[in-house]
Amino acid sequence: MRPVLTPVFLGSLSRRRLTTAFSLIAVVLGVALGMAVQAVHTAALSEFSRGVRTVAGEADLRIVGPRNGFDETVYPLVAALPEVAAASPVVEVTTRVAGQEQALQIAGVDLFAAAGITPALLARPSAGSDRLSVLGEDRIFLSDAARVQLGAPPGSELSLRAGIHLVRVVVGGDIPAAAENSRLAIMDIAAVQRQFDRLTRLTRIDVRATNGVSLETAKRAVQAVLPTGVIVETPEVAENQAALLSRAYRVNLTMLAAMALLTGSFLVFSAQALSVVRRRSEFAFLRAIGLSRQRLLVWLLGEGAAIGLVGGVLGVALGYAVAWALLELFGGDLGAGYFAGLRPRLEFTPIASLTYGTLGILAGIAGAWWPAREAATVPPAQALKAGDDASIPVGHGHPRVGLVLLAVGIIACWLPPLGDLPVGGYAAIACLLGGGVLLLPVFAAALARRLPNALSVPARLAKARLEAVPGHAVIAAAGVLTSVALSVAMAIMVASFRDSVDAWLHQLLPADLYVRAGAVETGTTLDGETQARIASTPGVGTVSFTRHESLRLSPEHPPAALIARPLSMDGRELPVVDRAPPESDPSAVPIWISEAMKDLYGWRPGQRVELPIAGHAAPVRVAGVWRDYARQTGAVMINLTDYRRLSDDRLANDAAITLAPGHGAADVAARVAATAAPGTLQIAYPGEIRATSLRIFDRTFAVTYLLEAAAVAIGLAGVAASFAALAAARRKEFGMLRHLGVTRSQIAWMLAQEGALAAGAGVLGGLAVGGATGLVLIEVVNRQSFHWSMDLHVPWVSLTVFAGVLIALAALGAVVAGRAAMRQEAVLAVREDW
Amino acid sequence: MNRRAFLLAMLGSQGLMRSALAEESRAAQRGSKGAGNGDSVAFAPVVPGRRLVFPDDYGAHPDFRTEWWYVTGWLRLPDGTSIGFQSTFFRVRTGIGEDNPSAFAPRQLILAHAAIADPRLGRLRHDERIARAAFDRAGFTRGRTHVWIGDWVFEQTGDGYHVLIPRSESGGFAYELQFSTPDAPLLNGTGGFSAKAPDPRHASYYYSRPQLKVAGTVTLDGRALPVTGLAWLDHEWSSELLPSEAQGWDWTGINFDDGGALMAFRLRRQDGGPLWHAGTLRNGNQRNSDIHILMNNDLTLTPTREWASSRTGIRYPVQWQVRAGARTFDLAPLFDDQELDSRRSTGNVYWEGAVRAQETGRTVGKGYLELTGYDRRIWIG
């Protein structure tokens, strides 16, 4: 029987090409997005881990400190411990070759110490050069990849940016064990310390524990000799931290993919539901000639599975293609900046591919489940007799279940994050969507009842239909609701976010000019002399310097940023969201923590805490909480004067300049630039910085815009697909109407209004659910995953236009889809039933 | 004598320059120029006529390019087994970073090598270290012998020396030895000025401390054993040692049972032919009174038997006849395989081992023999 039945069932998919195509597209998109996010992330993370592992080599432990490193006297203390077999000091600087954009990470190593621990960090002099040249102060050793990228063969000279100076080095050879790391360069530790102004500083010590000493014992022994703010960790921790850093972003994207997949599943459902209705007599006949109920069920599920399978396979392929394109365009961080600079390679991961392919199939089967059961349970005799389509699933919905879901969703918003993930938020969104869909029939009927009665014939017909048989339209409307809800939620969230970021940038960038010594270079600072020169440049009114450091507060968390800049006692320069009551003790050093600090470390306004500054624990008081969109791992602001007193560090990274009255920004910028070697000081206008920041923001959300568009297209496709199926099922009805004297254009008009009504119900429901979902995204998902708050900003105009266009498109779609049915001769259509 | 090849090998052991050895031994002789930035550095010259002054000259001479303290000897285990040992500490002035205020500036490197020659094992146990003199993790002292890398220490104590190799990362051995001698240092060459070639630029300051009494502990595979024995110490420093045509050398230092001592070396040309001979012979226990400084015509070193390493295929002349003035000695190894094969890590191989000295068929002394430049590459080349 199978060969006979194959065309009956699977063949039906090809007969309704349009609906099948839409379902397929939705599944493909869902699978592809999920696959792409997964593939990109796997590639980026494995590249990152590979980097960590090659560099870590055989190190059991590594000692790390704040961004600007720690004092080198830590090294002999650690190396002398009996628990330590070998210790390798490293001073790392990130710099650039003058005139090139590519960042170069220079590891200053003591090759003799590194040899036994981190073989990847060993340089090899090029053939014929002096053996001791690896120690040369002007020698740099490049990985093969970096050499190719910089076009710098052995023996060639490079000019490296070092603060406001340039350092001339000669390429002395390569790094055999790290040939593919395009960012890595090696110099002698003493050369880096001197040339990059890092004297007495180290950024890392790699440690190999003595044989027979447990890692825990060694770790405790090492930690005991470290100054505060310098910690010892296992190399794996860095990998974990990297994975954690991007996890929230990744999970959020994967959630979007899941939504797309859900939409696809729903489209399969709506198409199958209507198709099953249309084929009732067909099934009844098959049942009558001996097809068992189970076989029928399996065949109908097979239809869904077939769509899911094709969608899954195409989706996985498309996902890899998208991932490849994303890696080429944005690198490994999907534009979010977590893995900036890595050049990951796309890897085929069989398990993930299989998982996503299977998800596609499951989506298809899930969509087909209800209609299939419905069709299989109808007694053949009744189905053969009755030609009506009254018993479409969904019917009048399940308003009570819907209400319960909504209630559960609201409660879920108050759940704390689970493993740093906003699980409650996602649950709330799922509940809101589910509840919305289940309440939609009631809502649609109510909406139809509310419409005025004195309408044209087609309008009355459309209204009556929606009122009486909401089931049909609701299937189309539910698709619209889902996609509108997703789009609206994203639109509200992104608009609020963008608006808040814009306001935040305005508040943080009040000056007229910003000066910094290099964009990516770590060794680049403005020394006291340069600071003085900038301050005394004619046209410079006031200047405030900023120093960037970082804090290692615990081995579990990535370092938090420490920003020292001139601040008022009340922190009025900051976007403060919460402040402590005024402090009576004037000696308490105030700090302002970002919202992430509050979430990650549990610090509260008014609390007294200790900050590890320059190797000492400085007692400070949390004066308030400010909003920070730049540093997800936490940031602490401290007054520059306090920082300098605590750290004795007079350097600065940036300067914010307010112009003296009567001076033009361009003139002053030119004069400030002239205070240092040409090209070393970068001067930016706040407008530029804002524009760049927003451009980065938009790029980060590019993928979500894409998804919104896809969701809307899927929703519209759903309307068209539903009406195409519906119209086919309603040929008899149209024939009857024509018999009664209704013109074709009136039928078209009726269909248009039905489409608009159905879509309208979906759009209105979608706006409501989307608004609520947007709030959940802002207040729960963002708060919990990224630790930042934002002000609600609803883009009313865009949403109104969007809703209107969607309804109009739905109406058009309904007419276009129904045309085939209308074209039938009226008599023929009526006679078919007899 | 010159352990320059070893020094190079040590640098090489950090995976730096497998093939640089031959290159370097020629290049380094072209002029007294340091590497990298060190071109302008002036190394102190070795000049004839400078008197060695003790205790100052026991200590380090950081103005010179290279310097080493080298102690070898025979030890007797409680069960009567004889084993050989070797400890060498090098100091190298690189000429790099002389004006760099960084504490890591690689102005001076310390290298060390420790080995045990155990005939029951049939090959050497050895380990090596290298570090820049920084943060007292590695360093040297002026005015007395004191040089160290981490917990490896070579130090002068009272009228003797103390060598501590408390752990080896790879060798599976450790030792702590105390050396003592009542004798004044034995000056080689002309009052400690040891010429290496006709050109007086190629020379070193060089003294030996033969007949050192040894007591201490050797730990083999985790078992600590008390030992006694007799050792030989060399201290040599120079700035421009080898003539460019030298490809290798053979050196020996023997403690005679009667209290005498012999130091003899020859430099070889590329073709294997001798380039320069020199030595010092102290007859009997005469407290440095019967000393013969041997120059080219007074001294010949002749190989009498070769041994081929199965690991490397290199053939070493492990048995020798040494004619020193009127006396003739036959040198025979404690066992053949005292090849120091660190090709896996260093790409360099040489032979350094314990030997017995016979005179007219009778064993008259024990000491060490060093054979360098027998690498196959050079032989074929």
pLDDT by residue (tens digit) across A364-406?
Answer: 888 888 888 877 777 776 666 654 444 454 455 678 888 999 9
- Structure letter (DSSP) for residue A779: I
Q: How many domains does chain A have?
A: 4
pLDDT at residue A342 is higher than 80: no
CB of B79 within 8 Å of a chain A CB? The answer is: no
How many structural domains is chain B composed of?
1
Residues B27, A128: contact at Cβ < 8 Å? no
Q: Among A34-43, A147-156, B365-374, which stretch is predicted with the lowest mean pLDDT?
A: A34-43
Q: Which one of B11, B37, B101 has the shortest CB-CB distance to A131?
A: B11
Q: What is the pLDDT of residue B265?
A: 93
Nearest-neighbour CA in chain A from B343: distance (Å):
16
In a domain, A781, yes or no: yes
What's the CA gap between A190 and B101, in Å, rounded? 8
Quote the pLDDT of residue A53: 62
Residues A712 and A814 in one domain: yes
Are residues A199 and B37, on separate chains, in Cβ contact within 8 Å?
no
B149 touches chain A (CB under 8 A): no
Considering the domain architecture, whether residues A761 and A798 belong to the same structural domain is answered as: yes
A68 and A48 in a single domain? The answer is no
- Cβ contact B106–A72 (<8 Å): no
Please tell me if residue B102 touches chain A, with a CB cutoff of 8 Å. yes
CB–CB contact B36 A116 (8 Å)? no
Domain match, A635 and A719 both: no
Residues 191-230 of chain A with CB under 8 A from chain B are: 191, 193-194, 199-200
- Shortest Cα distance, chain A CAs vs residue B38, angstroms: 8
Distance CA A488, CA A467 (A): 27
Q: Which domain holds residue B230?
A: 4-380
Are residues A137 and B11, on separate chains, in Cβ contact within 8 Å? no
**Last residue in a domain, options A631, A657, A684:** A684
Q: What is the pLDDT, as a whole number, of residue A423?
A: 84
- Please tell me the distance in Å from A598's CA to the nearest CA on chain B: 40
Residues pairing with A84 in the sheet: A209
A137 to chain B nearest CA, in Å? 6
Return the HEC string of A227-274: CCCCEEECHHHHHHHHHHHHHHHHHHHHHHHHHHHHHHHHHHHHHHHH
Same domain (yes/no): A168, A88: yes
Q: At A819, phi and psi to the nearest 5?
A: -60, -40
Helix (H) or strand (E) holding B178: strand B173-180
| Residue A271 covered by a domain | no
Calpha distance B22→B28 (Å, rounded): 10
Q: In chain A, what's the furthest Cα-to-Cα distance?
A: 102
Residue range B346-352: mean pLDDT, rounded: 71
Could you tell me which of B377, B370, B301, B380 has the C-alpha nearest to residue B343?
B377
Give, to the nearest 10 degrees, the angle between helix A280-288 and helix A235-278. Answer: 80
- Pair A534, A698: CB distance under 8 Å: no
- Same structural domain for residues A623 and A712? no
| CA dist., res. A39 & res. A37, Å (int) | 6
Strand B223-240 with B66-76, pairing: antiparallel
Is A280 inside any structural domain? no
Q: Which residue of A72, A121, A132 to mutate against B (max B Cβ within 10 Å)? A: A132
Helix B4-12 vs helix B20-27: crossing angle, to nearest 10: 130
Mean pLDDT of chain B: 83
Determine the Cα–Cα distance for residues A90 and A193; give it in Å rounded to an integer.
10
Boundary-marking domain end, from A380, A407, A436: A380
Q: Which of A322, A356, A380 is the last residue of a domain?
A: A380
**Where residue B302 sits, what CATH number does that domain have?**
2.40.370.10
CA A435: distance to chain centroid? Answer: 26
Farthest-apart Cα atoms in chain B, separation: 60
Task: Please give the distance of CA A498 from its chain centroid, rounded to a whole number.
Answer: 15
- Mean pLDDT, residues A704-730 taken together: 69
In the chain, the amino acid numbered A131 is R
Closest CA to B178 of B162, B154, B164, B166: B162
Shortest distance between the Cα of B304 and any Cα of chain A, in A, equals 36
Distance CA A380, CA A669 (A): 85
Nearest-angstrom CA–CA distance, A496 and A502: 10
Q: Are the beta carbons of A131 and B8 separated by less than 8 Å?
A: yes
Contacts of A113 in chain B (CB under 8 A): 131
Decide: helix, strand or coil at residue B57: helix
The pLDDT, as a whole number, for residue B38 is 43
Identify the CA nearest to B22 among candidates B39, B4, B1, B38: B4
* CA gap A786, A421 in Å, rounded: 9
Chain B contact present for A348, CB below 8 A: no
Contact of B153 with chain A, judged by CB distance below 8 Å, is answered with: no
pLDDT, tens digit, 9 for 90 and up, residues B96-131: 999 999 999 999 999 888 999 999 999 899 888 889
CA dist B194 and B1 (Å) reads: 10
Contact B35 A189 (CB under 8 A): no
Q: Across the interface, do A125 and B24 touch by the CB < 8 Å criterion? A: no
Asked if residue B174 has pLDDT above 80, the reply is: yes
Range of the domain at A489: 394-509+688-834
CB contact under 8 A, A190 and B137: no
Tracing tokens 């976007």 back to the chain, one arrives at A575
Of how many residues is chain A composed?
A: 834
- CB within 8 Å: A131 and B12: yes
A79 contact B CB<8A: yes
**Chain-wide mean pLDDT for chain A?**
80
Does residue A668 lie within any of the structural domains? yes
> Within an 8 Å CB–CB cutoff, is residue B132 touching chain A?
yes
Chain A residue with CA closest to B345: the answer is A115
Same domain, A644 and A563: yes
**Yes or no, beta carbons of B11 and A132 under 8 Å apart:** yes
Q: Where are the alpha helices (DSSP H) in A151-225?
A: 189-195, 215-225
Q: Would you report the helix, strand and coil content of chain B in percent, each value rounded to 5?
A: 10, 50, 40
In this structure, are residues B117 and B81 in contact, taking their beta carbons and an 8 Å threshold? no
Within 8 A by CB and 6+ apart from A574, the residues are A507, A508, A567, A592, A624, A626, A637
State whether B94 and A190 contact (CB < 8 Å): no
In a domain, A389, yes or no: no
Closest approach of B159 to chain A, Cα-based (Å) = 29
Whether the per-residue pLDDT at A139 is higher than 60: the answer is yes
Mean pLDDT of B308-335: 91
- Of B23, B102, B150, which has the smallest distance from its Cβ to A194's Cβ? B102
Q: Same structural domain for residues A537 and A675? A: yes
B35·A133 Cβ contact <8 A: yes
Phi and psi at B17, nearest 5°, equal -150, 75
| Whether A491 contacts A499, CB under 8 Å | no
d(CA A542, CA A540): 6
Question: Residue B1: pLDDT above 70?
Answer: no
Q: Check whether residue A24 and residue A45 sit in a common domain.
A: yes
**A677 CA to chain B: closest CA distance, Å?**
23
- How would residue B342 be classed by pLDDT, with cut points 50, 70 and 90? low
Residue pLDDT, tens place only, A659-674? 888 888 888 888 888 8
Contacts of residue A171, Cβ cutoff 8 Å, sequence gap at least 6: A126, A139, A140, A141, A142, A147, A152, A153, A154, A155, A156, A157, A158
Same domain, A697 and A557: no
Q: Which sign, positive or negative, has the C-alpha torsion A670, A673, A678, A679?
A: negative
Query: Could you say which of A134, A190, A200 has the minimum Cβ distance to residue B16?
Result: A134
Instruction: Judge: A135–B97 Cβ closer than 8 Å, yes or no.
Output: yes
- Burial class of residue A538 in the structure, from the number of CB atoms within 10 Å of its CB (0-12 exposed, 13-18 middle, 19+ buried): exposed
Q: Which of A543, A487, A552 is nearest to A516 (CA)?
A: A543
Report yes or no on A268 lying in a domain.
Answer: no
Q: Which of A559, A450, A488 is nearest to A774 (CA)?
A: A488
Hey, is the C-beta of A189 within 8 angstroms of any chain B C-beta?
yes
Q: How far off is chain A from B98, nearest CA to CA, in Å? A: 10
Pair (A452, A400) in one structural domain: yes
Residue B193 CA to residue B195 CA, distance in Å, equals 6
- Interface residue B27 vs chain A (CB under 8 A): yes
B136–A134 CB contact, under 8 Å: no
The residue whose two tokens read 């003899």 is B264
Contacts for A469 with CB less than 8 Å, ≥ 6 apart: A390, A392
Residues A795 and A491 sit within 8 Å (Cβ to Cβ): yes
pLDDT computed for residue A434 by the predictor: 85
Place of tokens 């990130």: A94
Q: In terms of CA atoms, which chain B residue is nearest residue A72?
A: B103
Do A242 and A182 belong together in one domain?
A: no
